[in-house]
Amino acid sequence: MLYLATGVTVVGLLCLFDLFLTFAVIRRLREHASRLERVAGADRLLPVGARIGAATAADLDGQPVTADWLRQGTRLVVLMSDTCNSCLAEVGAAAGYAGRMPGGRDDVLAVVTGRGAADGHRDQLVAGLREVARVVTGADASALATAFAAESYPCFYLLDRGRVAVAGHGVDDLPELVRH
């Protein structure tokens, strides 16, 4: 009888332990499912061939950025947010890539969105890109981010006459350039 009681107790404890592990696995799967949904939604970029929406802005030098400007030749557009740590990590590579654009600074647009809060990276992003790109910040940057349907940062677009030729979230997603 003692063996039977011990056996039932051990089986009962194993069932409770199994139930605990099952609930832990279910909770973990729910966490991962919500993470995957956020990542899948955040990874959206304009598809190759898409035409950029209409937006006008002025860069920090007061020069206009228009849809006509975007439709002239090949343009690199870099979208970053001042609250994005990945943007801060990518700004050096972005500046290096932009510096190799055939038309130089005139073919590169850097859009820095955000509130410019004290805890943001706006000044560092602008300083890292201003020498190699026309930089847009503030409300104009928000309008351009909307035109490019930016939902996550950083975003890199190579445009060919106003249409997306290449899109990615890092410089590694762009083709290699050789400046002549």
Cβ atoms of 135 and 112 within 8 Å: the answer is yes
Map out the domains of the chain as residue ranges.
57-173
The pLDDT value given to residue 156: 94
Cβ neighbours for 99, distance < 8 A, ≥ 6 positions apart = 132, 179
What's the CATH number for 57-173? 3.40.30.10
Along the 180 residues of the chain, how does pLDDT read in single tens digits? 888 888 889 889 999 989 888 988 888 887 777 666 555 545 678 899 998 877 789 999 999 998 888 888 899 999 999 888 889 899 999 999 999 998 889 999 999 998 766 667 888 999 999 999 999 998 889 889 888 888 889 999 999 988 999 999 989 889 986 443
List the structure tokens of 74.
């090949």
The pLDDT value given to residue 103: 87
Between CA 172 and CA 177, with CA 173 as vertex, the angle to 5 degrees is 70
